[in-house]
A and B are shown apart, each in its own frame.
Chain A
Amino acid sequence: MEIKKTSLNKLHQSNNAKFVEFAGYEMPIQYSKGIIEEHKFTRSNSGIFDVSHMGQLFIYGDESLTEELEKIFPLDLKNLKQNCSKYSFLMNEDAGIYDDLIITKIEEGYLIILNAACKDKDFDILSNLLGSKFKMNLDNNRSLIAIQGPKSVEILNSIINGVDQLNFMTGNWFDSHNQKLFVTRSGYTGEDGFEISISNDKAEKFVENLIEKGAQLIGLGARDTLRLEAGLCLYGHELDINKTPVEANLRWAISKSRLSNGGFIGSKKIMNQMQDGASQIRVGIKPEGRLIAREKTKIFNDTDKQIGEITSGTFGPSVNGPIAMGYVDKEFSKVDTKILLEVRGKKHPANICTLPFYKKNYVKGVN
Chain B
Amino acid sequence: MSEVKFSKEHEWITLEGDVATIGITKHATEMLGDIVFAELPEKGSNVEKDGTAGVVESTKAASDVYTPVSGEVVDTNQSIVDDPAKINEDPEGGAWFFKLKIKDTSELDTLMNKEEYDKFAKETSS
Same complex origin of A and B: yes
Binding site for B on A (CB under 8 A): 29-30, 34-36, 221, 225, 290-292, 294, 314-315, 317, 322, 344
Q: Contact between A291 and B34 (Cβ–Cβ < 8 Å)?
A: no
- Contacts A36-B59, A315-B59 given; does A292 touch B36 at CB 8 Å: yes
Known contacts: A29-B60, A290-B84, A294-B62. The answer to whether A344 contacts B36 by CB under 8 A is no
- Bound together, the chains give a CA A35 to CA B35 distance in angstroms of 10
Say how far A343's CB is from chain B's closest CB, in angstroms. 9
Verify if B51 is at the interface (C-beta below 8 Å from A): no
Instruction: Kindly list chain B residues whose C-beta atoms are within 8 Å of the C-beta of A317.
Output: 59
- Total A-B contacts with CB atoms under 8 angstroms apart: 36
Q: Mark B30-45, 1 if CB is under 8 A from A, else 0.
A: 0001101100000000
Alpha-carbon distance between A344 and B52 when the two chains are bound, in angstroms: 12
Please give me the residue from chain A that is nearest to B64 by CB atom: A344
Chain B residues contacting A30 (CB-CB under 8 Å) are 33
Could you tell me if A34 and B37 are in contact, using CB atoms closer than 8 angstroms?
no
Interface, chain B (partner A; CB < 8 A): 33-34, 36-37, 55, 57-62, 81, 84
Q: Which residues of A contact B60 (CB under 8 A)?
A: 29, 35, 221
Are B57 and A292 within 8 A (Cβ)? yes
List the A side residues contacting B62 at CB < 8 Å: 292, 294
CB–CB A221/B59 < 8 A: yes
CB distance from B29 to the nearest CB of A (A): 11
Q: Are B55 and A290 in contact (CB under 8 A)?
A: no
Q: Considering the chains assembled together, what is the distance between the CA atoms of A222 and B81 in angstroms?
A: 23
Residues of A within 8 A of B57 (CB): 292, 315
CA distance A221 to B37 in the complex (A): 17
B30 to chain A, nearest CB (A): 10
Q: Report chain A residues within 8 Å CB of B84.
A: 290
Instruction: From B55, B59, B61, B84, name the one whose CB has the most chain A CB atoms within 10 angstroms.
Output: B59
Q: Specify the chain B residue showing the minimal Cβ separation from A222.
A: B59
**B37 contacts which chain A residues (CB < 8 A)?**
290-292, 315, 322
CA gap between A221 and B61 in the complex, in Å: 11
Cβ-defined contact, B55 with A35, below 8 A: no
When chains A and B are docked, how far (Å) is the Cα of A292 from the Cα of B36? 9
Bound complex: CA A315 to CA B34 (Å) = 10
Q: A35-B60, A292-B62, A294-B62 are in contact. Are A344 and B34 (CB under 8 A)?
A: no
CB-based contact B34/A36 at 8 Å: yes
Complex CA distance for A290 and B58, rounded to whole angstroms: 12
How near does chain A come to B45, taking the closest CB pair, in angstroms?
15
CA–CA, A291 and B81, complex, Å: 10
* Among all A-B residue pairs, the 9 with the closest Cβ atoms: A315-B36, A36-B34, A35-B59, A292-B57, A34-B34, A290-B37, A292-B37, A315-B59, A34-B33
